[in-house]
Amino acid sequence: MAAQETSQSATFRHAFGNVLSFTVLLLIGVMAFSIRLFSVIKYESVIHEFDPYFNYRVTQFLTKSGVYDFWNWFDDRTWYPLGRVIGGTVYPGLTLTAGTLWRILNSINIPLSVETVCVFTAPVFSAFASWATYLLTKEIKGAGAGLTAAALLAMVPSYISRSVAGSYDNEAVAIFALIFTFYLYIKTLNTGSLFYATLNAIAYFYMVCSWGGYTFIINLIPMHVLLCIVTGRYSPRLYIAYAPLVVLGTLLAALVPVVGFNAVMTSEHFASFLVFIIIHVVALVYYIKGILTPQMFKVAVTLVVSVGMVLCVAVLAVLIALVASSPTKGWSGRSLSLLDPTYASKYIPIIASVSEHQPPTWPSYFMDINVLAFLVPAGIIACFLPLSDASSFAVLYIVTSVYFSGVMVRLMLVLAPAACIMSGIALSEAFDVLTRSIKFHLVGTTQNPQDNARDATKVNQNDVKSEKSEDTVKERPSRKSKKKDKENIEKPSLVSRVEKRLLVLPLETSVMAVFLLVLLGAFYVVHCVWAAAEAYSAPSIVLTSRSHDGLHVFDDFREAYAWLSHNTEVDDKVSKSKRSDSFALKTPTDVSGISFIASTHYPLILFEVLNLAVLGLVQRNKLIGLLAAAILVQVASWWDYGYQTTAMANRTVIVDNNTWNNTHIATVGTAMSSPEKAAWDIFNSLDVKYVLVVFGGLVGYPSDDINKFLWMVRIGGGVFPHIKEPDYLRDGQYRIDSQATPTMLNSLMYKLSYFRFVETDGRGYDRVRNTEIGKKHFKLTHFEEVFTTHHWMVRIYKLKSPKNRIRGKTKRSKSKSGTSTSSKRSTRKKNPWQ
Amino acid sequence: MAAAIFSLFIFVVALLIGTSSASSSGLQILQAERQIELTSHIVRVYLTLKIENTEDAPATEVLLAFPPTQFDHLALVKAAVTVGKKRKKSYVPLEAKPTERPDAPNGTKYHSVSLLKPLAKGETTNLEILYILTQSLEPFPEEIAQSDPQLVYYHDSAIILSPYHIAHQATMIKTPSNNVESFTQVDPAHRSGSELRYGPYEGHGPYSYSPIIVHFENNHPFAVVEELEREIEISHWGSVQVTESYKLAHAGAKHKGAFSRVEYQSRPGGSGVSSFKHLLAVLPPRVHSVYYRDEIGNISTSRLRTNSKKTELLIEPRYPLFGGWKATFLIGYGVPLKDFLFESAPGARYLNYTFGCSIADTVVDKLTIKVVLPEGSKDPSVEVPFAVKQSLEKKYSYLDVIGRTVVVLEKRNVVPEHHVPFQVHYKFNPLFMLAEPLMLASTFFLLFAASVVYLHIDLSIRKKC
């Protein structure tokens, strides 16, 4: 009777617990979403930064033209005159996700704009990510740890920095996919269910669609499998968890155009295949062991080992020879710089110039994961008490991600979920122990007079409870493996043992510890909210500054883009008439045809926006990202501004943030570093009409082109040796004042930045470099200022047309260059419609 | 240019030859006074006519003649008759509508003004006429640099074009400044300050014409809205949401060469005099949630001033507009429903809203007004005081099932004088307001019911033990 009652109250408590966890999860989701809305509240609902603008533009195309056109999309607005095959070079996960969301919303008549959907995709997926964290941690250490970890992840600053509303970037959905894939892997490992294994492969496929970081998964899981095998934890569940993932996952990954055959051909994936072979060998060994007698087995082992060794050595030799024959040893530059942190700075300036590819500093750990950094070790210890398959995975995850985050700032993002899981486990275990000892003391003091045998019953009750929990576990579907059950039996006994030992904790100490832990949590929350509100919410296309007379808004970038999109009318005409041609030709989706169009049309505008991220000057590491010289066809600019120019101004650029063609970027860098005439020749040969520079000297905006200029010189010099870095430095110092070298003072970048600058204050005082400029009064002969924004942050110049110059000279230069450009120009002139 | 003047000349000669045969009507104009205002980019012409009927048959209408070039740019013609003597003078508006005449020489176009009562023989009446021309100032030179002032041509006739004999006439032209480069001499004509006076001329026959060109400085911002779409969405839950999307252009002399920010900022008066930086939009009183943005986000340069009579929104495009430059933007706001929606009969309602464009002192080339009626409204009809193109559309907004009826009104060449109220009548059953909340509630109910069912159902084949 009493047992029934207790079981009834237990079911009630069970149900109540479920409802409570559900509510808590819901609230965590709401918090994850709302903490990311600071950017919308403080600024506006707008896409942030650089890469998100590209993703936004791709999404717009997708929603307008449909998914099939998207796969075949050849973008002629970037990388003029080469163009770029977007469908085959982007990770489509984010775009397809947002596009599908948009489609669903519109089909039920909720007419949100594509922009709105894009802006809020990241916050929505962070809520999903925190739920996925709950599931993963629950598999590892139970629901309490799961809820704590989910709450921590919902507001971890590192993840917030990549997923505030408007930050429409791959990482926003990829972190969710990463955690969810891990969850399904652990779930499969714990249950041995093929159903979950299949889901796991699909989740992995989504991750591959979303982010290049999927290689982390496909290396981490094999590592874990290997670890399990080595430590003698091989089980059929492990086989079920791993083998289908490799087979299905690799097949699915190869479906993503950007990955394609890389899924089987690059070194990043080799580990998984190697482990795939090993696990089969191990499985075979276990099988044979089962059917042979021990003596026979011994004989077989010696036989197989000797033959196998020979074979393995042969195969390894072939593999090593194959890999060694490729110049990068089969590894891509970015991955190599992961293994050897100094690789990029040594060999690839364009990777090195991106700030987020730099190693982080210690403060950035504190900024991005805050108190979690201190809780992680405790979490690791908790994972060893006891060590299960799942918790060993968690340990492996944290260890590898700590290493990777130490190599590249950007990968701090991968560390954040691991740190949250570990801290969640640590906090939850600590609370568990502390509250239990408090409860014991309280119960002990209040009920002391009643019965001395109370302790005994308590212990009994504990036993009953543990039995009960065992029962409930057993009641669950029989998919649960025997091993799991065994663990469960082990665990309660372990727990009760631990309990008995820990109950000794004195009341005061426990209360104090709980109080301190709560304080620590509160500190974390305060820090996260501050980081979300102050540090990570600025959209970077709008800048604000607070001064004594109120808030100043610097909206110069959009001013320039809007001006370009509305007032570069000649090109509009040309591109319009040509665009109709391209439509006619586009129907047979013939790539060669399209690239032909791309190369012949758009007498484009080159915006020279040279934006090189100067590491030390940009405070927010995530910002430092872009290496692309954005040159609009006819708009030439350094690559940082390429994505924004195509998306906001709808003009063709020469280079953009997708830095796939180093030579092209170097050409723009060279032009910027050259004197006016040489630069004009380069730009003219690229059909550039406008050149765009970012200049912060008037208002003190530090990440302007002058500060990035050395990178332009370096990248340009890497391909065109006549540009030499020392020419721009005086005694190894980069300066723009009267001590600057003549090469520097005559470079196009200097001239375009400081043209007529001296007239603003009479002496030309640069507020970024805090110095007076070196050359104050000069004229431009081949360029003409056509627009400068209100705070001078963006300056747009037009290339003067060659006919303005002396006739004889023009003719000579024409005949000399004899390029397609000049012939195109002359034919265009004949056209009566222009 | 020369060719145009020459052809005008030919035109005039032809007109003068044709005059004698054309005077079919028995009306004659005793006194005509014309005042042409060229101070902004909208040309306003005030015409005062004293008309006498000389024939037996009573005259019911008076014809106003326009050369075809002017007729195309005619935005509005308003006529009124003066009633009473000097002290108690009042104006009674008359109807003016475009008409065709079979015997019109050289493509002359007409507006006919219907008189209040037929004019008997020997009687006289005084007509006051206002007509407005847009796009009639032609910049010359067509391209100017940043520091140049903007000079424009205005073409017209020194003698009023009319199908009637005009006994006495005079024309006054008002220019924005004293800076008049040149004007055609048709004696007697003289200039004093910013005023040009042609006439008085005596006894010109029907269809007399004498072309003149005035070349003068006009630095008024030539703000032209090339396209404006206003969407007025009625929600019976208490507000009317208005969204206006503008395509703005500076229609003056095109900007040539460089734009120097230094010059623009350091010499506000001397550089870019014909450019404009901000515009004033007049919104209804009690507006709320005003926004001003374009396709790439919020535009932070705007100022909102409210008082009980009206709301003024001072908007600054992202960049100053020079000749030929364009900008697009969006203004949106909500106004309380009770200010604009009225019940005419049980179940029938009408919206009373202002036609035209919110921005003061602009011309709208193409105006589209879309009135989105609530879902489930029936029998829409429109009352507009002038001719507009009407059509109906369907729109699906938040959670609509049958779609909302949209009344589309289109008009070209809209000037500030078109800012008059118009009405849209429709029938609406308030029960439709509950459709969407009920739909949402039932969806959630079904969702919860389904999850309850799912949790209590056991689909497994084997019984769990």
For A455, A748, A776, B364, the CA distances from A779, given in Å and listed in that order, are: 94, 12, 10, 42
Q: What is the pLDDT of residue A606?
A: 25
B462 touches chain A (CB under 8 A): no
Q: What is the pLDDT of residue A122?
A: 93
Residue A656, exposed/middle/buried by CB under 10 A (0-12, 13-18, 19+)? buried
Residue with tokens 């429709």: B426
Model ipTM value: 0.85
| Main-chain dihedrals φ then ψ at residue A514, nearest 5 degrees | -60, -45
Render pLDDT for A791-833 as a digit per residue (tens, 0 to 9): 888 898 888 877 655 555 544 444 444 444 433 333 333 333 3
Render pLDDT for B218-265 as a digit per residue (tens, 0 to 9): 888 888 999 999 999 999 888 999 999 999 999 888 888 888 888 888
Element (H, E) at A165: none
Quickly count: other Cβ atoms within 10 Å of residue B464's Cβ.
9
Q: Report how far residue A132's alpha carbon sits from residue A711's, in angstroms, rounded to the nearest whole number.
A: 41
Higher pLDDT, A421 or B309: A421
Q: What is the pLDDT of residue B397?
A: 85
Residue B343 Ramachandran class (φ > 0 left, ψ -120 to 50 alpha, else beta): beta
Chain A residues within 8 A of B296 when measuring between CB atoms: 46, 558, 561-562, 648
B400 touches chain A (CB under 8 A): yes
Closest of B256, B286, B287, B298 to residue B274, by C-alpha: B256
Contact yes or no for B318 and A555 at CB 8 A: yes
Q: What is the pLDDT of residue B7?
A: 52
Element (H, E) at B34: strand B27-37
Contact yes or no for B319 and A561 at CB 8 A: no
Q: Report how far residue A185's alpha carbon sits from residue A765's, in angstroms, rounded to the nearest whole number.
A: 60
| Main-chain dihedrals φ then ψ at residue A759, nearest 5 degrees | -75, -10
Domains in chain B and their CATH numbers?
Answer: 2-217 (2.60.40.1730), 223-436 (2.60.40.1730)
Choose the closest CB to B296 out of A109, A648, A785: A648
Chain A residues within 8 A of B299 when measuring between CB atoms: 555
Min mean pLDDT across A59-73, B18-32, B309-323, B411-425 is at: B18-32
User: Nearest-CA distance from A614 to chain B in Å?
Assistant: 27
Choose the closest CB to B399 out of A109, A558, A786: A109
Q: Report how far residue B111's alpha carbon sits from residue B62's, in angstroms, rounded to the nearest whole number.
A: 8
User: Nearest-CA distance from B270 to chain A in Å?
Assistant: 16
Q: What is the pLDDT of residue A625?
A: 28
Name the CA radius of gyration of chain A, rounded: 31
Closest of A467, A515, A517 to residue A495, by C-alpha: A467
Q: Report how far residue A413's alpha carbon sits from residue A157's, in angstroms, rounded to the nearest whole number.
A: 9
Choose the closest CB to A561 out of B262, B296, B401: B296
Chain B residues within 8 A of A756 when measuring between CB atoms: 260, 262
For A441, B36, B207, B215, the CA distances from B12, given in Å and listed in that order, are: 114, 21, 9, 20
Q: Report how far residue A695's alpha carbon sits from residue A702's, in angstroms, rounded to the nearest whole number.
A: 9
Higher pLDDT, B87 or B357: B357
Chain A residues within 8 A of B400 when measuring between CB atoms: 109
Which ranges of A292-411 would DSSP assign to H, the alpha helix? 294-325, 333-339, 343-347, 349-352, 362-369, 372-383, 389-407
Q: What is the pLDDT of residue A831?
A: 37
The set of residues, in sequence order, having a beta carbon less than 8 Å from that of B386 and lying 6+ positions away, is B76, B411, B418
Chain B residues within 8 A of A559 when measuring between CB atoms: 318-319
Closest of A203, A183, A168, A169 to residue A130, by C-alpha: A183
Chain B residues within 8 A of A105 when measuring between CB atoms: none
Contact yes or no for B296 and A46 at CB 8 A: yes
Arithmetic mean of pLDDT, B186-195: 86
Contact yes or no for A792 and B261 at CB 8 A: yes
User: Nearest-CA distance from A109 to chain B in Å?
Assistant: 5
B440 touches chain A (CB under 8 A): no
CB A486 within 8 A of CB A238: no
Render pLDDT for A255-301 as a digit per residue (tens, 0 to 9): 998 888 888 888 788 889 999 999 998 898 888 888 888 888 888 88
Chain A residues within 8 A of B260 when measuring between CB atoms: 756, 785, 788
Q: What is the pLDDT of residue B310?
A: 85
Q: How many Cβ pairs within 8 Å bridge chains A and B?
A: 76
For A387, A493, A673, A725, A735, the CA distances from A732, given in Å and listed in that order, are: 56, 69, 17, 9, 9
For A439, B84, B311, B384, the CA distances from A430, given in Å and listed in that order, are: 14, 98, 61, 75
B398 touches chain A (CB under 8 A): yes
Interface of B with A in 235-264 (CB under 8 A): 257-262
> Which residue of chain A has the CA closest to B463?
A477
Q: Report how far residue A463's alpha carbon sits from residue B246's, in angstroms, rounded to the nearest whole number.
A: 76
Higher pLDDT, B102 or B138: B138
Residue with tokens 């740190």: A419
Contact yes or no for A111 and B328 at CB 8 A: no
Q: What is the DSSP letter of A90?
A: S
Closest of B363, B340, B351 to residue B417, by C-alpha: B363
Contact yes or no for B397 and A756 at CB 8 A: no
B297 touches chain A (CB under 8 A): yes
A784 touches chain B (CB under 8 A): yes
Q: Report how far residue A679's alpha carbon sits from residue A298's, in angstroms, rounded to the nearest whole number.
A: 77
Choose the closest CB to A109 out of B327, B328, B400: B400
Alpha carbon A353 to chain centroid, angstroms = 17
The set of residues, in sequence order, having a beta carbon less than 8 Å from that of A528 and lying 6+ positions away, is A35, A155, A156, A157, A160, A370
B16 pLDDT more than 60: no
Contact yes or no for A558 and B266 at CB 8 A: no
Higher pLDDT, B92 or A497: B92
Q: Report how far residue A126's alpha carbon sits from residue A171's, in angstroms, rounded to the nearest whole number.
A: 10
User: Nearest-CA distance from A43 to chain B in Å?
Assistant: 9
Chain A residues within 8 A of B397 when measuring between CB atoms: 109, 111
Chain B residues within 8 A of A753 when measuring between CB atoms: none
SS3 B199: strand
One DSSP character per residue, A200-215 reads HHHHHHHHHHH-TTHH
B402 touches chain A (CB under 8 A): no
Choose the closest CB to B257 out of A784, A789, A792: A784
Which residue ranges in chain A fall short of pLDDT 50?
1, 448-500, 502, 570-633, 810-834
Q: Report how far residue B51's alpha carbon sits from residue B79's, in angstroms, rounded to the nearest whole number.
A: 14
* Cis ω for the linkage preceding B141 (within 30 of 0): yes
Q: Report how far residue B377's alpha carbon sits from residue B433's, in angstroms, rounded to the nearest whole number.
A: 11
CA end-to-end span of chain A, whole Å? 97
For A170, A507, A510, B141, B212, the CA distances from A434, given in Å and listed in that order, are: 41, 9, 5, 87, 99
B426 pLDDT more than 70: yes
Token pair for A655: 């280079």
B436 touches chain A (CB under 8 A): no
User: Chain A interface, mutation test: which of B262, B325, B375, B458, most A Cβ atoms within 10 Å?
Assistant: B262
Chain B residues within 8 A of A558 when measuring between CB atoms: 296-297, 318
SS3 B435: helix
For A223, A277, A485, the CA distances from A242, given in Å and listed in that order, are: 11, 11, 21
Q: CB-hemisphere CA count at 13 Å for A612?
A: 23
Render pLDDT for A726-775 as a digit per residue (tens, 0 to 9): 888 888 888 888 888 888 888 898 998 898 888 888 888 888 888 888 88
Name the CA radius of gyration of chain B, rounded: 29
Q: Report how far residue A694's alpha carbon sits from residue A556's, in angstroms, rounded to the nearest whole number.
A: 10
Choose the closest CB to A109 out of B294, B326, B396: B396
User: Nearest-CA distance from A464 to chain B in Å?
Assistant: 21
Residues B63, B64, B67, B72, CA torsion sign: negative
